[in-house]
Amino acid sequence: MDTQVSPVVDPPTPASRGGPGARPPAVSRVALAAALLLPPRLTPESVRYDRRYRTVDRYRFVCWFLAPPLLIYTVLVIWPFLQAFFYAMTDWTGFGGEFSMVWSGNFSRMWRDDAFWDALANSLVLLVLAPVITLALGLFFAYMLNAGGRHRRSESVGGVRGAAFYKIVYFLPQVLSVAIIAIVWARVFSPRSGLVNTGLEAVGLGSLAQDNWLGGSWARWVILLVLCWSFVGFYVVLFSAAMAAVPRDIYEAALLDGAGRAATFFRVTFPLTWDTVRTGWIYMGIQALDAFALVIVMVPRGGFDVLPTYLYLKAFREGQAGYATAVGVVLFLITLVFTLVMMRVGRRDRIEF
Amino acid sequence: MTATASPGTADGPRPAPQGPAPRHRPGAGGGRSEGGVLNVFAHSFLIIWVVMAVGPVLWIVLSSLKPTGDITGSPFGLPTGVEWENFTTAWTEASVGRYALNSVIVLAFSLTGTMLLGAMAAYVIARYEFFGNRAVHYLFIGGLMFPVFLALVPLYFVMDNLGLLNTRPGLVLVYIGYSLPFTIFFLTAFFRTLPGAVHEAATIDGASHTRIFFQIMLPMAKPGLVSIGIFNFLGHWNQFVLPRVLNNADEENFVLPQGLASLMVQQGSYDANWGALYAGLTIAMLPILVVYLSFQRQVQAGLTAGALK
């Protein structure tokens, strides 16, 4: 896989294609280059029978297949990403074309912006807690499903009965739109007709009911709960697959050595699935840094922000596109640092089995 | 992927009166009771989470059948009477039907486009050597590292300048663009695993590159295409952030998640029609649930593939 021109360029030996004497006249490079733009059917025969045509044909195919995706991707993805780093240094409002460079001005303004720090704190709480809770629950359930059942004959470890059913049910939130999940949970936590408050009253704990779950200090924990809820099933399925890949004889050996379930989990299952756990951790952290839809639907009147919703507010409500982009850059840096740290911290020798 | 998780679970009820086979249980007596306690413990946790996972969704579906008085009066109770009117209100007055149609139209084009363009690029990257091959590959994969929020503000103005803001083709193109990195990443790895001999044989038989791609390689890559197709299908159907920012001008053009969210916000405290909202949610969830339950193994495999990047 080198980046050089492909080695398939044919040697310029005079070869005869249509038998001796029938060799077509050599065509110019211009004609060959022009053939890049024509479909094979419309390419003149003189060009098609040229020895160099095969390379042209390959390049034509590669160009035509790459151009449309590359065009869309460059214009709509790469270009905005690059622009973001530029606009982050301007005081652009988003209305009209004029702006001036403020260089690091947006970042020093952020430093003094209490609302930004609130949003950052909320995002960081989610970033730290959501993966820990979700992955712990996911591992626990996955282990129960795979090794929590009673021992059967001829089996060292057995899953609980109905493991397939549990997996189907647990995974369900993952297929729903996050907007729908947000609405459902906003209703569950609704002060008057929600499940939580009426449920608490029904069991005599009415004093714990809150007038405003989705405002004030509770919002952060409700968002955390919903975030974890929607991903636990995903990790149960992911970890189940990883655990199923651990060979049975390792479990048998551990069992023969007298290891209980807890020891088996911490000494065998967890180390052997660590790679998947770590990848899942990074993925969940990225999801936790998003949380945009949950917050914007469940707390529509504001008062609780995470970085993405703060960015949205600044850019599309308050006309501070430059400042909002700078918030986006901070979000990107946090994602990057988190990913790098996780890849570094969790690295250990891969265990082959 | 998950089929082999626990081969013993599909056995059905087997009481196993003899107890566990002794050769597997060196410390038989103590282990037995530990197993029993753990079993109860495990099962109760597992069942609690079943209630947690399904409860809220089931509650919404049940509530969608209730008259509004029931919804606010006794949120826990079963419906006293079935109120189909909620569904007609949701479909027409609350324009859930319109939102669903918008979603279907956008999805039809965005999914086709993503799969086609993604497969084309991935195929060329995976199986052809050309100048800049590796650079193009990394360019696409690099897109996986960036949070979409970083690009959101500039993207809004790029779309505005191109005249694509608040239009359906614009939304389709953006969906395609932001799905390409993962689609290409996944499919490139997949195309590399396909045998090269078939390709050579077809070349010798005189098939053109295009023909080899459409008639030989695409059919061979079907399992990979199905996985990534499901991934993109759900991703596009459930997409919320992009339409919220890029398609927010005219309520007529809202897609389903966006429309439902705006419906939710519109409900005042006193004149709320929760029944219609719940019916709208049910309408939005049911097709997805049906698809999920029919293809649950492929769906699970397709979606968990996303975490392996």
The owner of tokens 């078939």 is B198
B123 touches chain A (CB under 8 A): yes
What CA–CA distance (Å, rounded) separates B5 from A158?
A: 10
User: How far off is chain B from A21, nearest CA to CA, in Å?
Assistant: 24
Give me the domain span that covers residue B102. Answer: 87-308
Per DSSP, the residues of B138-179 read HHHHHGGGS-HHHHHHHHHHHHHHHT-TT-HHHHHHHHHHHH
Q: Is residue B58 part of a domain?
A: no
Within 150-189 of A, beta carbons closer than 8 Å to B belong to 150-156, 158-164, 166-180, 182-188
- Does residue B31 surpass a pLDDT of 70? no
CATH superfamily, region A110-345 = MetI-like (1.10.3720.10)
Residue A111 in contact with partner chain B when CB distance is under 8 A: no
Distance from CA of B286 to the nearest CA of A (A): 10
- A213-227, A262-276, B21-35, B224-238 — which is least confidently predicted? B21-35
Give me the interface pTM, i.e. the ipTM. 0.84
A90 touches chain B (CB under 8 A): no
Residue type, B276: A
- Residue ranges of domains in chain A: 1-87, 110-345
Judge: A176–B285 Cβ closer than 8 Å, yes or no.
Answer: yes
Residue A272 has pLDDT above 80, yes or no: yes
Specify the pLDDT at position A6.
44
Average pLDDT over residues B188-216: 88
A126-135, A305-314, B59-68, B122-131: least confident range: B59-68
User: Taking a C-beta distance cutoff of 8 angstroms, is the pair A243, B5 a contact?
Assistant: yes
Among the listed ranges A38-52, A279-293, B211-225, which one has the minimum average pLDDT value? A38-52
Contact A56, A6 (CB under 8 A): no
- Distance between CA A137 and CA A140 in Å, rounded? 5
Domain annotation covers residue B64: no
Lowest mean pLDDT among B14-18, B210-214, B296-300: B14-18
Q: With an 8 Å Cβ cutoff, is B117 touching chain A?
A: yes
A97/B151 Cα distance (integer angstroms): 18
> What would the DSSP string read from start to end of A219-256?
HHHHHHHHHHHHHHHHHHHHHHHHHHTS-HHHHHHHHH
Contact B147 A58 (CB under 8 A): no
Which tens digit of pLDDT belongs to each residue from A317-335?
888 888 999 999 999 999 9
Query: Confidence class of residue B32 from pLDDT cuts 50, 70 and 90?
Result: very low
Q: Please tell me the total count of domains within chain B.
A: 1
Q: Which two tokens stand for residue B302?
A: 């397709």
B12 DSSP 8-state letter: -
For residue A349, what pLDDT band results from cuts at 50, 70 and 90?
Answer: low
- State yes or no: pLDDT of B266 exceeds 60: yes
Answer whether residue A19 shows pLDDT above 80: no
Interface with chain B: mutation pick from A62, A85, A311, A338, highest number of B CBs within 10 Å: A62
Q: Which residues of B touch A98 (CB under 8 A)?
A: none
Residue B229 has pLDDT above 70, yes or no: yes
Tell me how far apart the alpha carbons of residues B258 and B99 are, in angstroms, rounded to a whole number. 8
Assign residue B192 the CATH number of its domain.
Answer: 1.10.3720.10
Contact flag A182-B261 (C-beta cutoff 8 Å): yes
Distance CA A137, CA A270 (A): 13
Residue A227 has a pLDDT of 93
Residue A3 to residue B135, Cβ atoms within 8 A: yes
Chain B residues close to A192, C-beta within 8 Å:
72
Within a domain: B55:
no
| Minimal C-alpha gap between A160 and chain B (Å) | 7
| B282 CB-side CA count, 13 A | 22
Query: Which chain B positions have a beta carbon within 8 Å of A172's beta carbon?
Result: 53-54, 57, 289, 292
pLDDT band, very low/low/confident/very high, at A138 (cuts 50, 70, 90): very high
Among B6, B149, B176, whose Cβ lies nearest the Cβ of A311? B149
